Structure 1
Amino acid sequence: MKAITKTTYLGGRLMLQNRNWFSILILALVLMLAACGNSETSGGSGGNQPEENNGGNSSDPAPSEEEESYTIGITQIAEHPSLDAAVDGFKQALEDNGLKEGEKVTYDLQIAQGDGSLSTTIATNFVSSNVDLIFANSTPSAQTALAATKTIPIVFTSVTDPVGAELVASLDQPGPNITGTMDLHPEAIPNTLKFIKDELGGTKVGLIYNAGEANSVSQVNSIKELLSELGLEAEEATVATTADVKQAAESLVGKIDAFYIITDNTVVSALESVVSVANERDIPMLAGEFDSVGRGALAAYGFDYYDIGYEAGVMAAHILLEGKSPSDIPVQVPQNLKLVINKQAAAEQGVELKPEWDNIAEYLE
């Protein structure tokens, strides 16, 4: 029993001594860590450590907020110079207002190639992508965009009759999310028809258009009414695609004194087909915009599509940068109506230039 007791006592003493040494070791480690910590936070080699209690050093740069950028979906019914020029003007207006492409604004340009169903798909995709604004370049493009959304802002251009196309309630009070610029000056059609009658001596005017375009139907109705008032007659030929245009032009030969090619997207896309018929048969061809004059039309009362695109871009800048509602921005008609005559086309179409035209027209050589 005593041996066992001694052994137990010695074991307990050894355990006590081991515990004392273990405690001393722990204490030493704690003191060493504390010393290291003090040296790191006192400066010196601890320069890479964050200063949590510096009272907010005013010399530190404030975190910069990411500048806002925008995505604009551009829907265009077809590809031809007039509509392309409107897009160029639109982009330039936004750049002039500080929205440079690739930096503060990104464009998604989609062209429907004259296909109404594709135009609908383009608009639907823009809505699904939640673009910041839709730029609708033509009447069909604006119609499909408006059918796709009543919330995303829409700015249109190259639209002849926005009220008749049911895009806006009125020019002064457009819809809640849509406004834009027109491609028809109030005096453009009357002046063109008077020129055909008074300057060219024509009595029968050939009209080629796509009856599926509301833009075109509106123009043709206005033209027919004015022709009647002037004692002139209309001869019509309708098309569905660009492939139909030359045949339509040929069907009017012998029935008309002049062609009047309105701003119909289908026909203008195949304008050279009409030009070839006009040149071969010595039939003067008037147009609804200047780009067609450059492509072979005799003359046009019009304006630059670049300009109406630019004005649409200014509207878009007001909406994006100032938070304006499209409903507060009236629809705008083109400015600076003028007559441009193509001298070469005159020679090709058997038209003799009159000296008095020098006072009313600009010439394209």
Structure 2
Amino acid sequence: MKNLRSLSKVLAGVVLSGMLVACSGSGSQGQTQAKASGGSEPIKIGAISYIEHVSLDNSIKGFEDRLKEKGINAIVEVENLQGDQALTTTVPKKFEGDEYKLVYAVATPPAQGAKTALPNKNIVYSAVSDPIKAGLIEAPDKIDHVTGVNNKSIAKEYLSSFLELYPDIKTIGTLYSPSEVNAQVQVEDLKNACNELGIKLELVGINSINDVSQGLSGIVNKIDAYYAITDNVVAAAGPIVAKTLLENNLPSVSAEEGQVMKGLLVSDGVDYYEHGKQAADLAIRILNGEDIKNVHAEDNKVKSRKVNENTAKALGLDLNSDYFKNATLVK
């Protein structure tokens, strides 16, 4: 009997210890940490992209790849708005359930829509030029339930570099979407840059991809080169822009790499694959239990020069010149 009582006490202790261990991980944060570190059950993340084009697609790819690199067992469900502003606040509702641990919003309109539609959900954005003007954050270190990585372009920097290749440029042209905060911010920056550099600027506002050809036709005879901002609607029409410019023997510089992959000449801006990875690093901190208020918004960290080899050759440029020395060539 004495041995049986001793055995009962041992078994009771084992059961109690097991209960304590189970209880210690029963909170939502404990569950998220277990899943985020590669548990058997994948976590769900909702992702919303504004429109299909190379840069935004690369932001999604970089985000997903970084999660895998860090051992995060996740299912990223992607919804693409196809440029439809009316969907910015309705599509995010798909991800409001508790099973979605976080929402990743790519570009300004989806980020704004997600913030409005999902006030109780943690949101990480990327490909947003000015998150403060867009109303996403109060300041980089003043976060509510939204944080992320901006892709702010610096027009004077890009144009100054481009003038090394084409020093005789007097007038440049740009298409942009007046309805996009992202585009408005960049246009103001571009205007200031042109004023400082003594370059005339021809601006054309468009409402949809269908307006691109007509918008370009109105300025190709007035400009010496074309400057592409990170405007999502215009970027989606990248091949049309590139074809028209080449037909008129006009060089181009882009604030983002995607349009170079579609045929524009050169970009000196954001590497969007790395941009997505940077956003994922913020998301991982949140998934691992860190309060989003402590996950401050960041500036983009990785830039690269990309040159479309076919376009450069069509324009008669020497790819052995110093300007192209450290560039990545794409076709």
TM range, normalised to the smaller chain?
A: 0.7 to 0.9
Instruction: Kindly state the Cα deviation for residue 358 of structure 1 after the two structures are TM-superposed.
Output: 4.0
Q: Aligned AA for 2:171? A: K
Task: Give, in whole Å, the separation in 2 of the partners of 1:252 and 1:91.
Answer: 40
Q: How does 1:58-77 map to 2 (within 5 A)?
A: 68=35, 69-77=42-50
Percent of counterpart pairs with the same letter? 28
For 1:190 and 1:354, the matched residues in 2 are separated by: 25
Q: Residues 218-297 of structure 1 correspond to what in structure 2 (within 5 A)?
A: 218-297=185-264
Paired AA for residue 193 in structure 1: L
Q: Pick the aligned partner of 1:332 from 251, 274, 298.
A: 298
- Given the alignment, which residue of 133, 136, 141 partners 1:167? 136
- Which residue of 126, 139, 150 corresponds with 2:108? 139
Query: Which whole-Å deviations, capped at 9, do the CAs of 1:45-79 have from their partners, x for residues lacking one?
Result: xxxxxxxx97238999x699685452211011111
1:176 aligns with 2:144: yes
In 1, distance between residues paired with 2:52 and 2:45? 18
Cα distance change, pair 99–196 in 1 and its aligned pair in 2 (3 A): closer
Deviations 1:278-325 (A, max 9, x none): 11000112111222222211101023211111111111110011x222
* SS of corresponding position for 2:299: coil
Which of 113, 122, 136 pairs up with 1:153? 122
| Structure number with larger C-alpha Rg | 1
Work out whether 1:342 is the aligned partner of 2:308: yes
Which residue of structure 1 lines up, in the alignment, with residue 38 of structure 2? none
Evaluate the alpha carbon distance shift between residue 96 and residue 360 of structure 1 in structure 2; reply closer, same or farther with a 3 A threshold: closer
Give the equivalent residue in structure 2 for 1:199: 165
The alpha carbon displacement at 1:204 in A equals: 0.9
Distance 1:259 1:267 in 2: 13
The residue type equivalent to 1:111 in the other structure is N
State whether structure 2 residue 72 is matched by structure 1 residue 99: yes
Structure 2 residues not aligned, in runs of 5+: 1-5, 23-30, 36-41
* Counterpart residue identity of residue 227, structure 1: C
Amino acid aligned to 2:310 = Q
Distance (Å, rounded) in 2 between the aligned partners of 1:207 and 1:333:
24
CA contact (8 A) 1:150 1:176 kept: no
Contact 1:283 1:350 in 2 (8 A): no
Residue aligning to 2:26: none
Q: In the alignment, residue 175 of structure 1 is paired with which amino acid?
A: I
CA RMSD of aligned residues (A): 2.6
What is the SS of the residue equivalent to 1:288?
strand
Which of 43, 56, 61 aligns to 1:88? It is 61
- Which residue does the alignment assign to 1:109? 78
Deviation at 1:132, TM superposition (A): 1.6
Check whether the contact 2:177–2:231 (CA below 8 A) recurs between aligned residues. Answer: yes
Deviation at 1:244, TM superposition (A): 1.5
- C-alpha distance in 1, partners of 2:313/2:325? 20
Structure 1 unaligned spans of 5+: 1-52
Cα distance in structure 1, aligned partners of 2:328 and 2:250: 21
One-letter amino acid of the structure 2 residue matched with residue 234 of structure 1 = L
Distance 2:313 2:69 in 1: 41
For residues 92 and 7 of structure 2, what CA distance do their matches in structure 1 show? 55
Which secondary structure state, in structure 1, belongs to the residue aligned with residue 90 of structure 2?
helix
For 1:130-162, what per-residue CA distance to the aligned partner results, in whole angstroms no more than 9, with x for missing partners?
A: 622110011111100111133211100011111
Report which stretch shifted further, 291-300 or 194-203.
194-203
Contact 2:66 2:281 in 1 (8 A): yes
Q: Residues of 1 paired with 2:329 and 2:71: CA distance?
A: 36
Residues matched between the structures, number: 306
Q: Deviations over 1:228-268 (max 9, x none)?
A: 01111110111111121122112211111111111111011
How far has the Cα of 1:197 moved from its partner?
Answer: 3.4
CA deviations over 1:84-128 (Å, ceiling 9, x no partner): 11111111222223212xxxx222211100001112111233225
- Counterpart of 2:53 in structure 1: which amino acid? H
Establish whether residue 126 from structure 1 lines up as the match of residue 126 from structure 2.
no
- Mapped to 1, the partners of 2:272 and 2:302 lie a distance apart of 12
TM-score (normalised: structure 1)? 0.77
Q: TM-score, normalised by structure 2?
A: 0.84
